[in-house]
């Protein structure tokens, strides 16, 4: 099992020392995390790693998962899509299914913690237990709610406002709420398969297995084949930039078998690539963490030409590997990239082409951007910072309305 | 002058902040100026100071979120430059600092006929922070120990004693200079540290600068 001390060589002894000092103020507090799945998805991934580390820091932390049948998860999928802006709302019967499952879980679960930390909309209604228990409740929204379906959001909002605090991942997602809204960005785990250091030999092995030649600078975009990731725009930008400097483009994304729109976008992407031998399109299974890690490490420039984005953890991953990143100035991306300091922000195909050309021709500037990006991630977007923010969040519950707290 | 050792040590304290959203956002300069006059001081503090902590490895630029947004997003370069040039170090209260920033915006708005809109998604979101301060395990009874601690404390700790301290009484003074002067009677050293403009260094550059000054003083004493 990973231990706190494993992070010390990465973030430095001072960060670890201060995490321990901070956590002393919360020693013995009981925290219960609740979400809807124990495997798969970013929330489970982060809790899986974070819960043991929180316990090591002296907070009695446990993680519980709500139970719901197929009908419930069909409803929550609809809620998820509606929060992402899908026009379709929910039927009255669907709200009933949602609420019934909340009641069933309220009966089955114990909320005997000092802090009850509810993740995402699926268990939001459990807050009903708060009144009789008198403990503190936090609702953490991991979803992009920048333009939610109003009906669905208002339904959830009535529950959200019963919490002590809410947490969102980017300023863009903030809402008009009667309770405080903390901004806590997601994080990456530098020790996970996606991000751990790799040996040259290991990387070479993967490159030869995936048949990715490295005789030219590699320009990569890692993302699913989705119009919002603009893969066709990436190809157009690459073709413009390549007039000045030889390079190869690699678009790598998940398999699109179960996603009809994804399959269509993949087809359009292949059409845009044509027979160009310097445009590679690669579909990998969603478990290819080490392969993506290796690809990011051999890339010269990483693109993320998103037209809409949540936080954009693939960018965090690329920055962590010290790569110069050119990304669309949308969603949480500007939090990660200060334009011309820790990466490049663009708004168009032309802008992307221009900066790609610049970075391919000026490797020392590209290197500097990459170095700054890596440091920015080290200080702001690693798991240890996420833990620190959660500790501060728990502490803040004892000082409502205060802007300065002396511990 | 011989080095002093004191009974009451200097306790290095660190700080961390939890960011909260105010729910206010601006899409153009007029909205921006309006919100800026109304947001809590914790928001002015956050936007004029967090960059230093979050981008501590960079050349000390850009200096504050306001200047960065106005110049990079609204492409109002002249005003961006003026906001960047507002000398944060001169202001001992956040109210005065806010006043200087809003005055520059108002002057610009008076002569501006059309307003540039931020592209969708790049609006300015006003944030604020809850600041937590806590003692670390580092304490110093004399200058030599002080130097030893300074080499090891976190950036948050430096930040607390240099930037945050200036906004607490005695206003405008960093904690290091105050202690060196009051407790160790190191007037000259205190003055030298005071004269460093903390806003023009990276945090690490600042640490090195102070360490250099103290090491020189210790060198003088040992005859080096």
d(CA B22, CA A389): 18
Using one digit for the tens of pLDDT, what is the confidence trace for A351-382? 999 999 999 999 999 999 999 999 999 989 99
pLDDT at A257 over 60: no
Instruction: Provide, rounded to the nearest whole percent, the portion of chain A with pLDDT above 70.
Output: 98
B54 and B110 inside one domain: yes
Query: Residues B173, B210: one domain?
Result: yes
Q: pLDDT tens digits, residue range A133-153? A: 999 999 999 888 888 999 999
Examine the domain organization and report whether B32 and B52 are in the same domain.
yes
Same domain, B181 and B211: yes
What is the residue range of B185's domain?
A: 5-14+134-221
Whether omega for the bond prior to residue B170 falls within 30 degrees of 0, making it cis, is yes
Q: Which long-range contacts (CB under 8 A, 24 or more apart) does A268-273 make?
A: A268/A231, A268/A232, A269/A225, A269/A231, A269/A232, A269/A235, A272/A231, A272/A232, A272/A235, A272/A236, A273/A235
User: What is the rounded CA–CA span in Å between residue B45 and residue B97?
Assistant: 9
Give the end of a domain, one of B128, B158, B192. Answer: B128
Cis peptide bond prior to B62, omega within 30° of 0 = yes
Which of B65, B99, B128 is where one domain is finished? Answer: B128
The residue with greater pLDDT, A126 or A287, is A126
Q: Do A144 and A55 lie in a common domain?
A: yes
**Residue A227, pLDDT above cutoff 90:** no
Could you tell me the maximum CA-CA distance found in chain B, to the nearest angstrom?
Answer: 66
Q: Are A178 and A90 contained in the same domain? A: yes
A238 plus A161 within the same structural domain: no
Which of the four pLDDT bands, split at 50, 70 and 90, describes residue B139? very high
User: Do B69 and B98 share a structural domain?
Assistant: yes
Residues A75 and A207 in one domain: no
Report how many domains make up chain A.
Answer: 2
pLDDT of residue B124: 94
Q: Does residue B60 surpass a pLDDT of 60?
A: no
Which DSSP category does B69 fall into?
I
Asked if residues B60 and B88 have their Cβ atoms less than 8 Å apart, the reply is no
Domain residue limits at A230: 200-380
Residues B9 and B62 in one domain: no
Question: How many domains does chain B divide into?
Answer: 2
* pLDDT confidence tier of residue B91, bands split at 50, 70 and 90: confident
B221 compared with A252, residue with greater pLDDT: A252
Residues of A in contact with B15 (CB under 8 A): none
Record: contact B132-A21, CB cut-off 8 A: no
- Best of B11, B13, B20 to disrupt the A interface (most A CBs within 10 Å) is B20
Residue B194's alpha-carbon distances to B85, B96, B162, B184, in angstroms, are 20, 20, 9, 15
- At A254, is the pLDDT very low, low, confident or very high (cuts 50, 70, 90)? confident
User: Is the domain of B123 the same as that of B24?
Assistant: yes
Q: Identify whether A293 is part of a domain.
A: yes
Interface test with A, best of B11, B16, B62, B203 (most A CBs within 10 A): B16
Shared domain check, A123 and A15: yes
pTM: 0.90
CATH of the domain at A293: 3.40.50.2000
Instruction: Judge if A370 and A392 occupy the same domain.
Output: no
Q: Which residues of A touch B72 (CB under 8 A)?
A: 339
How far apart, in whole angstroms, are the C-alpha atoms of residue A353 and residue A239? Answer: 8
* Interface check B134 vs A, CB under 8 A: yes
pLDDT of amino acid B172 = 74
Q: Which of B20, B55, B125 sits opposite A341 (nearest CB)?
A: B55
Closest CA to A4 of A64, A41, A59, A45: A59
**Is the pLDDT score of B56 beyond 70?**
no
pLDDT of residue A22 exceeding 60, the answer is: yes
Give dist(CA B193, CA B177) in Å, integer: 6
Decide if pLDDT at A162 tops 90: yes
Could you tell me if residue A194 is inside a domain?
Answer: no
Instruction: Please tell me whether residues A211 and A181 are part of one structural domain.
Output: no
Do strands A344-346 and A404-406 pair parallel, antiparallel, or not at all (unpaired)?
unpaired
What ipTM does this complex have?
0.87
Report, as an integer, the average pLDDT of A45-68.
95
Clarify whether residues B97 and B153 are in a common domain. no
* pLDDT beyond 90 at A92: yes
Enumerate the β-bridge partners of residue B135: B13
* B116 shares a domain with B189: no
Residues A171 and A204 in one domain: no
Task: Quote the CA–CA distance of B215 and B91 in Å, as a whole number.
Answer: 30
Residues B143 and B114 in one domain: no
For residue A403, what are the CA distances in angstroms to A373, B18, B40? 30, 9, 10
Count how many residues are written for chain B: 224
Return the ∠ at Cα B215 (arms to B212 and B218), rounded to 5°.
Answer: 155
pLDDT value at A252 more than 70: yes
Show which of B128, B146, B176 is a domain's final residue.
B128
Distance CA(A203)–CA(B173), nearest Å, equals 53
């Amino acid at each position: 099992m990973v231990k706190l001390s494993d992070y010390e060589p990465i973030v430095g002894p001072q960060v670890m020392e201060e995490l321990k000092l901070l956590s002393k103020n919360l020693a013995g507090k009981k925290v219960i995390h609740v979400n809807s799945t124990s495997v798969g998805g970013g929330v489970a991934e982060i809790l899986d790693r974070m819960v043991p580390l929180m316990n090591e820091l002296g907070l009695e932390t446990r993680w519980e998962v709500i139970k719901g049948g197929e009908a419930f998860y069909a409803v929550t999928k609809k809620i998820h899509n509606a929060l992402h802006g899908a026009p379709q709302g929910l039927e009255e019967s669907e709200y009933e299914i949602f609420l019934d499952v909340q009641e069933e879980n309220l009966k089955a679960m114990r909320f005997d913690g000092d802090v009850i930390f509810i993740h995402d909309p699926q268990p939001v209604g459990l807050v009903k237990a708060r009144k009789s228990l008198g403990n503190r409740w936090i609702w953490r929204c991991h979803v992009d709610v920048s333009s939610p379906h109003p009906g669905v959001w208002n339904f959830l909002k009535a529950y959200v406002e019963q919490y002590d605090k809410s947490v969102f991942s980017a300023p863009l997602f903030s809402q008009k709420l009667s309770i405080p809204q903390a901004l806590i960005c997601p994080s990456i785990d530098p020790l996970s398969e996606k991000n751990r250091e790799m040996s040259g030999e290991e990387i070479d092995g993967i490159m030869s297995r995936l048949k990715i030649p490295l005789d030219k600078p590699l320009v990569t975009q890692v993302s699913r084949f989705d119009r919002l990731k603009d893969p066709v725009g990436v190809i157009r930008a690459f073709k413009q930039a390549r007039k000045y400097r030889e390079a190869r483009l690699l678009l790598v994304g998940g398999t699109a078998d179960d996603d009809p729109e994804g399959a269509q976008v993949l087809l359009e992407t292949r059409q845009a690539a044509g027979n160009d031998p310097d445009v590679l399109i690669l579909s990998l299974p969603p478990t290819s963490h080490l392969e993506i890690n290796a690809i990011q490490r051999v890339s010269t420039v990483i693109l993320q030409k998103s037209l809409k984005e949540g936080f954009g953890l693939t960018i965090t991953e690329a920055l962590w590997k010290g790569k110069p990143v050119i990304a669309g100035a949308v969603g949480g991306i500007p939090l990660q990239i200060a334009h011309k300091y820790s990466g490049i922000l663009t708004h168009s195909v032309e802008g992307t082409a221009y900066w790609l050309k610049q970075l391919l021709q000026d490797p020392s500037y590209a290197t500097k951007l990459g170095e700054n990006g890596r440091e920015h991630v080290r200080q702001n977007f690693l798991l240890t910072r996420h833990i620190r923010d959660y500790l501060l969040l728990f502490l803040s519950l004892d000082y409502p309305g205060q802007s300065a707290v002396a511990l | 002058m011989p080095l002093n050792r004191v009974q009451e040590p200097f306790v290095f304290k660190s700080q961390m902040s939890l960011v909260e959203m105010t729910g206010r956002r601006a899409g153009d300069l007029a909205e921006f100026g309006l919100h800026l006059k109304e947001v809590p001081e914790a928001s002015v503090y956050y936007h004029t100071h967090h960059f230093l902590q979050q981008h501590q490895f960079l050349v000390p630029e850009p200096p504050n979120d306001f200047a960065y947004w106005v110049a990079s997003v609204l492409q109002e370069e002249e005003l961006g430059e003026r906001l960047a040039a507002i000398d944060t170090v001169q202001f001992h209260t956040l109210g005065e600092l806010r006043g200087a920033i809003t005055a520059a915006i108002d002057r610009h708005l008076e002569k501006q006929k059309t307003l540039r809109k931020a592209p969708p998604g790049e609006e300015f979101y006003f944030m604020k922070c809850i600041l937590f301060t806590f003692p670390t395990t580092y304490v110093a009874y004399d200058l030599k120990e002080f130097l030893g601690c300074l080499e090891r404390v976190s950036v948050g700790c430096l930040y607390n004693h240099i930037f945050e301290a200036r906004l607490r009484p005695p206003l405008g003074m960093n904690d290091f200079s105050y202690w060196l002067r009051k407790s160790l009677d190191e007037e000259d050293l205190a003055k030298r540290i005071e004269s460093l403009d903390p806003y023009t260094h990276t945090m690490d550059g600042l640490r090195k600068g102070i360490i250099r000054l103290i090491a020189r003083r210790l060198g003088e004493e040992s005859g080096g």
